[in-house]
Amino acid sequence: MTLEPRGDMALTEDQTRILMALTRTASVLSGIGVITIITTFSMSRHFRNPMHRLIFINAFFNAFDVTCTMISVSGPQAGNKSALCQFQGFLNQMFPVADVYWTLVMAIDVYLIVFCCYDAESLRKLEWKYMIGITTLTFVPALVLLFIDTEDKGPMYGSVTIWCAIAPKWVLFRILIYYVPIWSSIVVIIILYSLVGIEIVKRRQALLSIGTDAEVLLDDTVMPAEAPTAIPIQSSPSINHTSHASTDGSVLTTKQSLNQLYVPKRSSLSFRQYILMPLFFFLALLTVWVAPSTNRVANFIDPTFGSFPLLVTVGTTGSLRGFWNALVFVAVGMKSWKRKKEEEEVALRPTTSDYVR
- What is the rounded radius of gyration, in angstroms, for the C-alpha atoms of the chain? 25
The closest of 158, 184, 28 to 97, measured between CA atoms, is 184
Its pTM stands at 0.77
What is the C-alpha to C-alpha distance for residues 256 and 339, in angstroms, rounded to an integer?
34
pLDDT of residue 136: 97
* CA angle centred on 355, ends 351 and 357, rounded to 5°: 105
Up-side HSE of residue 103: CA atoms within 13 Å toward CB? 34
What is the C-alpha separation between 185 and 142, in angstroms, rounded?
Answer: 18
CA 68 to chain centre: 20
The confidence score (pLDDT) of residue 330 equals: 85
Cβ neighbours of residue 5 closer than 8 Å, sequence gap 6 or more: 303, 304, 305, 306
User: What is the reported pLDDT for 272?
Assistant: 55
Which pLDDT score, from 0 to 100, does residue 260 have?
Answer: 40
Using alpha carbons, list the distances in angstroms from residue 185 to 91, 129, 173, 196.
20, 17, 18, 16
Are β-strands 228-231 and 261-264 bridged in parallel, bridged antiparallel, or unpaired? antiparallel
Distance CA 26, CA 321 (A): 9
Helical pair 50-71 and 120-145, crossing angle rounded to 10 deg = 20
- pLDDT tens over the chain, length 357 residues: 333 334 444 678 888 999 999 999 999 999 999 999 999 999 887 787 888 899 999 999 999 999 999 999 999 999 999 999 999 999 999 999 999 999 999 999 989 988 888 888 899 999 999 999 999 999 999 999 999 999 999 999 999 888 999 998 888 898 899 999 999 999 999 999 889 888 888 877 776 666 544 444 444 444 444 434 434 444 444 444 444 444 444 444 443 443 343 344 444 445 555 676 677 778 877 888 888 888 777 777 776 667 788 888 889 999 999 999 898 888 777 766 666 666 666 666 655 455 445
Strands of 99-196, DSSP E: 149-150, 154-155, 157-159, 164-166
226: left (phi over 0), alpha (psi -120 to 50) or beta: beta
DSSP structure string for 174-211: IIIIIIHHHHHHHHHHHHHHHHHHHHHHHHHHHHHTT-
Any residues with CB less than 8 A from the CB of 346 and at least 6 apart, and which?
352
What is the C-alpha to C-alpha distance for residues 87 and 83, in angstroms, rounded to an integer? 6
